[in-house]
Amino acid sequence: MSQMTQRRNFQVSQDQPGALDLRMQVGMRSLNVSPGSWGVEPVSGQTLDAFFRPRNVAVIGATERPGSVGRTILWNLISSPFGGAVLPVNPKRASVLGLKAYPSIREAMGEIDLAVVATPAATVPAVIAECADAGVKAAIIVSAGFREAGPSGVELENRVLAEARRGRMRIIGPNCLGVMCPITGLNATFANAMARPGNVGFISQSGALCTAILDWSFREAVGFSAFISIGSMLDVGWGDLIQYLGDDPQTKSIILYVESIGDARAFLSAAREVALSKPIIAIKAGRTEAAAKAAASHTGTLAGSDEVLDAAFRRCGVLRVNNISDLFYMSEVQSKQPRPGGPCLTIVTNAGGPGVLATDALISAGGELAELSSSTIKELDRILPPHWSHRNPIDMLGDAGPERYAKVVEIAAKDPASDGLLVILTPQGMTNPTLIAEQLKPYAKLSGKPILASWMGGADVAAGEHILTRADVPTFPYPDAAARMFQYMWRFSYNLKGLYETPAAIEEPGEGSSGSAIVAECIRVARERGRTLLTEQESKRVLTAYGIPSVPTEVAASPDEAVERAIQVGYPVVLKR
Amino acid sequence: MSQMTQRRNFQVSQDQPGALDLRMQVGMRSLNVSPGSWGVEPVSGQTLDAFFRPRNVAVIGATERPGSVGRTILWNLISSPFGGAVLPVNPKRASVLGLKAYPSIREAMGEIDLAVVATPAATVPAVIAECADAGVKAAIIVSAGFREAGPSGVELENRVLAEARRGRMRIIGPNCLGVMCPITGLNATFANAMARPGNVGFISQSGALCTAILDWSFREAVGFSAFISIGSMLDVGWGDLIQYLGDDPQTKSIILYVESIGDARAFLSAAREVALSKPIIAIKAGRTEAAAKAAASHTGTLAGSDEVLDAAFRRCGVLRVNNISDLFYMSEVQSKQPRPGGPCLTIVTNAGGPGVLATDALISAGGELAELSSSTIKELDRILPPHWSHRNPIDMLGDAGPERYAKVVEIAAKDPASDGLLVILTPQGMTNPTLIAEQLKPYAKLSGKPILASWMGGADVAAGEHILTRADVPTFPYPDAAARMFQYMWRFSYNLKGLYETPAAIEEPGEGSSGSAIVAECIRVARERGRTLLTEQESKRVLTAYGIPSVPTEVAASPDEAVERAIQVGYPVVLKR
């Protein structure tokens, strides 16, 4: 929690000085982040392999109607081979898109791992029942019309879930775009295209954001190990998928678009375990709505659930970003470059101003400028004009050509004090942005250090940007954004250290009972007396029980006693009359 | 100042409780923001028309050498007619690029308003002397090698300035890219291209940032009324140019890239006057360097000069942005759309998630969602499918086509509770991003309300983005950035109210002397005693003198007196032994 937030959480309410709102506790409990619930739990049910590496796939609701979801799914499955057979299920047709169709899943031949269901909501419980009977291991339900359609939809969901449980089936959806596994070639979605293979696992609760990020990923040459639209999370939720991608050797980082947490315990347990080895980056929509709710509460002082979530994310090693751009940028960076081993960035630029702005962004985000070693400076002196900056950012001056760029990057990358490089180009009179990009291609993979680039401008730099993008150097329109991403990458590594911290056993000295017992007792007493606020004394006992220092305060019964105590202990005394 | 900053400024230093560091005052003084210096001052010297609307222009140092600065400037001036003659000055040639050349400015015929000087630094004092003798009104010195080259360069600058003063000439530069006035057609720069005409006045202290923003402006169809590389500010500075653009009817907003303030009094006076009628948006490089300096000071508590600048900007109505992207975005928005009359944005989208993220960004930045009137909702009910969101953001659902987009925008724009529109598109299965953009063109100019767009994705949305851009609808890759820009636009209007605030006359009750006299006295006493820190009592007097409330505290000489006073007044007493 930031200092600001902390201050707010423990702020004193106006009408009852020193009172700590009980609902902070309630808020934490509703997210299952209360102490003791942090252990790693086994994810229920069987593996999710059937979703990503199925042998045969049935499409239930496969049609030829142009523009229909059923046709698009079938077409996507056919046109991107995944090593198994595609079986359309449609009682009204003998074949669909040239494939033999089956009247029901029962009649379909061979072992079917995965069913993709695109029939109307009302028919889905029966469809899943049939799947369960036929031994289908998993289903993706893309159909909408469940809980979002009201109580009757909830009832349908319950029936679907009961059938799935009976058959030990796992379900993704309903109301989702589907699942892609670019590594195996599986495209079980109704998106317009197939993602490029890569190492980013992307899970989104918004199908529309999936299609936007997919379209964007082609231009930016970003590849995915898995691309999952998670839908309403009737069965498979964040915890299952994070765990699965954590175990998946193809996945090197996980990017989440989150609208609701669902089973918080499963989410946080899985995240906490997986984040130890793979970065998890999340954007959570609706943070201000939650803040507004908190503000509407009568004290205005409790930790909104979004703030608790924020703390929980940090505690389990999830890096939270607040801008969509950062989510897109992080996808690109994670897919293309290694994470830095430290916070020290070297900036190489042909113009002072953009270098300074990138430095501002780096420092503001908590990063550092690498200090150039004297041998690096000497080497640079040999090849740079005398007026170069002689420090980091390395300003090579406005007439820097392709060779100068390449040499400086080579020298700067070798400096052991540098944990990564940001190369900035502004299109000045003598600059050839395209040729410079070409010259930098050999440096796209520095050993163990990330390299990022910002080719600033528009038309003149477009070709160079494209070259770098294809060479797996992430490019950013603005160098300050690039510097921020470097710092995000480092912060992720750094945050991991926090995960290994083990809180000390909590004992209130002299009382002989454990911290949580003391807190439970305080809250019990307050509840018994019908209070929702703790007194100042109780609040301070709670804080002390959790090892949070607070100003020692004692109540004096009379002015004389106050003075006596004050003189004894030498600290401020609150006089009560 | 943000709450956070305020808190830091007046934080109590560890070793001397309650002490207020004198250097806060010093810091303010160095920026000339001390009370009383806020009045509007006449800008020294004559009008700057000669830079933007010259009759004849001489190019001193005009050559034919390919790639040279002198050739590029000459070529730029010729190839973009500005209504006057271009006269190359070069003692070694009879003609340059087909134009008759003159051996010196003396020999050049006709009245010359403006000289563009591209000769080596050492020759410039003599060149300016000749210009002064010939009655040239203004000079742009693009040559480098002045103060940035050390003491000899400073000496050169002094000589240049003396000659200019003698001839009542104004100077822009040295060490700059030059000046463009797309309205008159003048391109007196060595940039690769001429800016599009428009209504944004852009002033930059980095030539490289000029070239980057210029290149970008073509792609985004952003137009400028003036495009100025300000250089080292030997003569003409921020104050002059802000004042000039403030008076220029073509300029509707002013965008600044600032590395150093220079004459702070002139800057702030001009900004304060001009910001009343035109938005001024600034990015200041080097904010963290300043903060680092402040942190290195032994107390760690004083207001860094950057924080003072921040407050000064706000006080004079300058909107400060911290990301380059925001500077680019604001240029685009200001060049294309009116400012909103209120904080209420209506979001129209074909997907829930991006709408929620845009709402988060809007609310976080201090904006509001417009509340749809019941008649708007009724009208929308008539044309939208039943499951639409029934509130703002208006989620028209994933199958929204061009007609639905157009109708909803038309209805939403009419709602008087809405101050502006953000239209979001994600490329879903049924979506035609290009056709939808075409359909929205008629709504590019809503009366008095801005309309912004975010076509999310990459390849699929590129054509639609281009159509909107050319139709003067600013497009943003991410909808949350668009929402933030809307709020920036509104905040600018809102900030203006603050400029009309007149501080009440400051009197410390019962003391009968004015606030500033009290403060001066406190500081005088502290200085006399060789202190650089005020005592707690003095600090509180200073705060009170400026009308800042502080906790009333009194010093008691004995425990008894303390108790007595405490009982009398009923507030905490600090016991000192």
Q: Supply the pLDDT for residue A575.
A: 54
On whether any CB of chain B is under 8 Å from the CB of A457, the answer is yes
Comparing C-alpha atoms, which of A236, A166, A178, A168 is closest to residue A60? Answer: A178
Q: Tokens for A224? A: 């995915």
From A257, A288, A477, residue closest to B363, measured CB to CB: A288
Is A386 exposed, middle or buried (CB count within 10 Å of its CB: 0-12, 13-18, 19+)? exposed
Percent of chain B predicted with pLDDT > 90: 58
Q: Supply the pLDDT for residue A504.
A: 55
On whether any CB of chain B is under 8 Å from the CB of A350, the answer is yes
Q: Tokens for B114? A: 């403006």
Task: Give the separation between CA A518 and CA A535, rounded to whole angstroms.
Answer: 15
Residue ranges of chain B that CATH labels 3.40.50.261: 339-498
The secondary structure of B125-138, three-state, reads: HHHHHHHHHCCCCE
On whether any CB of chain A is under 8 Å from the CB of B365, the answer is no
Nearest chain A alpha carbon to B150: A387
Residue ranges of chain A that CATH labels 3.40.50.261: 340-498
Contact status, residue B408 vs residue B348, Cβ threshold 8 Å: yes
The pLDDT tens digits of the residues spanning A205-246 come to: 988 999 999 999 999 999 999 999 999 999 999 999 999 999
Compute φ and ψ for B394, nearest 5 degrees.
Answer: -80, 100
From A190, A285, A478, residue closest to B356, measured CB to CB: A285
The pLDDT tens digits of the residues spanning A312-360 come to: 888 888 999 988 899 989 989 988 999 999 999 999 999 988 998 899 9
From B259, B398, B429, residue closest to A353, measured CB to CB: B259
Comparing C-alpha atoms, which of A258, A255, A271 is closest to residue A200? Answer: A255
Taking CB atoms and an 8 Å limit, are A323 and B456 in contact across chains? no
Contact status, residue A234 vs residue A175, Cβ threshold 8 Å: no
From A457, A479, A574, residue closest to B216, measured CB to CB: A457
On whether any CB of chain B is under 8 Å from the CB of A479, the answer is yes
On whether any CB of chain B is under 8 Å from the CB of A476, the answer is no
Sheet holding A56-60, edge to edge: A86-89, A56-60, A112-117, A138-141, A170-172
Taking CB atoms and an 8 Å limit, are A426 and B286 in contact across chains? no
Nearest chain B alpha carbon to A289: B360
Q: Supply the pLDDT for residue A82.
A: 96
Compute φ and ψ for A346, nearest 5 degrees.
Answer: -105, 130
Band of residue B289 on the pLDDT scale cut at 50, 70, 90? low
Q: Look up the ipTM and state it.
A: 0.75
The pLDDT tens digits of the residues spanning A546-556 come to: 888 877 777 77
From chain A, pick out residues whose CB is under 8 angstroms from the CB of B149.
387
Comparing C-alpha atoms, which of A19, A109, A2 is closest to residue A56? Answer: A109
Asked if the model's pLDDT at residue B42 lies above 70, the reply is: no
| Least confident range of A252-266, B20-34, B252-266, B452-466 | B20-34
Q: Tokens for B527? A: 């200085």
Q: Any idea of the CA torsion for A205, A209, A214, A217, to the nearest 10 degrees?
A: -110
Which of residues 189 through 228 in chain B touch A, CB cutoff 8 A? 190-192, 204-209, 211-212, 214-220
The pLDDT tens digits of the residues spanning B161-192 come to: 999 999 999 999 999 999 999 999 999 999 98
Q: Supply the pLDDT for residue B287.
A: 75
Compute φ and ψ for B75, nearest 5 degrees.
Answer: -60, -45
Q: Supply the pLDDT for residue A570.
A: 64
Q: Name the more confident of B222 and B293.
A: B222
The pLDDT tens digits of the residues spanning A167-181 come to: 999 999 999 999 999
CATH architecture of B339-498: 3-Layer(aba) Sandwich (3.40)
Q: In terms of DSSP bridges, do strands A394-395 and B196-204 run parallel, antiparallel, or are they unpaired?
A: unpaired
Contact status, residue B421 vs residue B346, Cβ threshold 8 Å: yes
Which of residues 402 through 421 in chain A touch B, CB cutoff 8 A? none
Which of residues 494 through 553 in chain B touch A, CB cutoff 8 A? none
On whether any CB of chain A is under 8 Å from the CB of B422, the answer is no
From A69, A208, A292, residue closest to B353, measured CB to CB: A208
Taking CB atoms and an 8 Å limit, are B351 and A480 in contact across chains? no
Task: Give the separation between CA B2 and CA B8, rounded to whole angstroms.
Answer: 10
DSSP letter (8 states) at residue B43: P
Percent of chain A predicted with pLDDT > 70: 84
Q: Supply the pLDDT for residue A277.
A: 86
| Least confident range of A10-19, A392-401, B362-371 | A10-19
The pLDDT tens digits of the residues spanning B76-123 come to: 999 999 999 999 999 999 999 999 999 999 988 778 999 999 999 999
Which of residues 264 through 293 in chain B touch A, CB cutoff 8 A? 283, 285-289, 291-292
Taking CB atoms and an 8 Å limit, are A480 and B324 in contact across chains? yes
Asked if the model's pLDDT at residue A563 lies above 90, the reply is: no
From chain B, pick out residues whose CB is under 8 angstroms from the CB of A460.
192, 215
Band of residue B501 on the pLDDT scale cut at 50, 70, 90? low
Asked if the model's pLDDT at residue A451 lies above 90, the reply is: yes
Taking CB atoms and an 8 Å limit, are A364 and B191 in contact across chains? no
Q: Supply the pLDDT for residue B547.
A: 80
Mean of the pLDDT values across residues A265-284?
91
What are the residue ranges of helices labelled H in A19-167?
23-30, 49-52, 69-79, 124-133, 151-166
Taking CB atoms and an 8 Å limit, are A363 and B288 in contact across chains? yes
| Least confident range of A449-463, A487-501, A523-537, B149-163 | A487-501
Taking CB atoms and an 8 Å limit, are B457 and A289 in contact across chains? no
Nearest chain A alpha carbon to B353: A206
Q: Closest Cα of chain B to A363: distance in Å?
A: 7
Band of residue A286 on the pLDDT scale cut at 50, 70, 90? confident
Q: Supply the pLDDT for residue A22.
A: 35
Q: Work out the mean pLDDT of chain A and round it to a whole number.
A: 84
Nearest chain B alpha carbon to A7: B4
Contact status, residue B217 vs residue B195, Cβ threshold 8 Å: yes
On whether any CB of chain B is under 8 Å from the CB of A574, the answer is yes
Q: Name the more confident of B560 and A509.
A: B560
Taking CB atoms and an 8 Å limit, are B427 and A215 in contact across chains? yes
Mean of the pLDDT values across residues B347-373?
91
Tell me if the domain spanning A340-498 has CATH number 3.30.750.210.
Answer: no
Q: Supply the pLDDT for residue A262.
A: 85
Q: Tokens for A335? A: 């897919």
The pLDDT tens digits of the residues spanning A514-562 come to: 778 888 888 888 888 888 788 877 888 888 888 888 777 777 787 788 7
E strand or H helix that includes residue A56 = strand A56-60
The pLDDT tens digits of the residues spanning B46-80 come to: 589 999 999 999 999 999 998 899 999 999 999 99
What are the residue ranges of helices labelled H in A337-444?
352-364, 374-383, 402-414, 433-440
Q: Tokens for A231? A: 């839908």
The residues pairing with A475 across neighbouring beta strands, listed in sequence order, are: A453
